[in-house]
Amino acid sequence: MQKNNPPPILVVASVLMEQDGQYLLIRESKAECRNTWFLPGGRALANESLPQTAVREAREESGILAELTGLLYMDQRIGNAAAGFGNRIRFVFLGIPAGGVLKQAEDEHSIRAGWFSEAEIENLELRSPFVRKVIEIHHGDPAILPISKVHTLTPKDQLLERP
């Protein structure tokens, strides 16, 4: 009997950063969502931890270095071939700005970044209502898990795990 290969799962990490009542958003450069605003974030690379992904993506897309403080939210999308999307697990970390310069020039990662109040966000063309949802969640609970509880297994830890 032949085993079916499971469908690939896309792993994504984003950062919600708030400073003085404003939230950091990036303007998308990808063709399918060009000029819309979203949280900085993207796909995990091979051999990259989730926190590393979130920090890298925030820096690439916004120019801002994120210091992660906790895990705010996670969700799972079960793929639907007919609707044109695959399996995805998304993690949203909370972060605070820890340096960098706000991006203002377009590249392959984004068009630019900006800090926006919630009132200003209401008037932006968002990639998804997910931006507002995550901000609302942030108001109700600062983090579901402190960053000190988010771990990546070391090679030694992995040797002790059973497949």
Give residue for tokens 């958003």.
Answer: 25
pLDDT category, 163, cuts 50, 70, 90?
low
Top mean-pLDDT range of 96-105, 131-140, 148-157: 96-105
Give the chain's end-to-end CA distance (angstroms, integer). 21
Q: Is it the case that residue 109 has pLDDT exceeding 80?
A: yes
Helix, strand, or coil here: 136? helix
Task: Give all domains of the chain, ordered by start, each with its CATH number.
Answer: 9-160 (3.90.79.10)
Q: Can you tell me the distance from the alpha carbon of 139 to that of 145, in angstroms, rounded to the nearest whole number? A: 15
Percentages helix, strand, coil for the chain, rounded to the nearest 5? 25, 35, 35
pTM more than 0.85: yes
Greater model confidence, 143 or 54: 54
Give pLDDT, residue 6.
67
Greater model confidence, 138 or 4: 138
Give pLDDT, residue 77.
87
- Which tokens hold the place of 155? 């090679």
Mean pLDDT, residues 46-74: 95
Give pLDDT, residue 3.
61
Give the bridge partners for 80, in sequence order: 85
Q: Is it the case that residue 12 has pLDDT exceeding 90?
A: yes
pLDDT above 90 covers a percentage of the chain that reads 68
